[in-house]
Amino acid sequence: MTQRKIRVLVAKPGLDGHDRGAKTVASALRDHGMEVIYTGLHQTPEAIAEIAAQEDVDVVGLSILSGAHMALFPRVRVELEKRGMGHVLLTGGGIIPQDDMAALETQGYTKLFGPGTPTEAIAKWITVAMAERLKNEGAQ
């Protein structure tokens, strides 16, 4: 039996118009065997959560460079929970100060990546985190 591919939604919340990094990460995750859905630019938290629910994703990764991460990332999490998607693995990256990363990680974002993070590290982290999650679910 073949293992199901990890389904990842890569999203660009807010008015941030720079998506080169998000597209690079999306491509790298595909190269690592994941199924990737990319939302495109200027997505609302509601739209991101709705796409995540419709696509039944395992992971939501947000990319932001605008500085609005402390406003938008928590709203995405709330919208996911409203749709019964509170179980998805939340991650993201961009220009996010360390203190803000720590604050977001206490709010459910399991890992945030800064500029220059090798795409290999992101793919490996998602793979390991999902394997751990599936192992824990199987043990219950």
* 97 vs 16, more confident: 97
- What are the distances in angstroms from CA 67 to CA 22, 122, 127? 16, 21, 28
Give the pLDDT score at 138. 73
Residue 2 has pLDDT above 90, yes or no: no
Domain total of the chain? 1
For residue 1, being part of any structural domain is answered with no
How far apart are the C-alpha atoms of 86 and 79, rounded to whole Å? Answer: 9
Q: E strands, the chain, where? A: 7-11, 35-38, 59-64, 89-94, 109-113
Give the pLDDT score at 139. 64
For residue 2, being part of any structural domain is answered with no
Contacts of 74 (CB under 8 A, 6+ apart): 104, 107
Look up the domain containing 98 and give its range: 7-139
For residue 72, being part of any structural domain is answered with yes
Residue 128 has pLDDT above 90, yes or no: yes
How far apart are the C-alpha atoms of 9 and 22, rounded to whole Å? Answer: 11
Give me the chain's average pLDDT, please.
95
CATH code, domain carrying 17: 3.40.50.280
Q: Within a 10 A sphere around the Cβ of 115, how many other Cβ atoms? A: 10
The pLDDT tens digits of the residues spanning 62-77 come to 999 999 999 999 999 9
For residue 13, being part of any structural domain is answered with yes
Residue 80 has pLDDT above 80, yes or no: yes
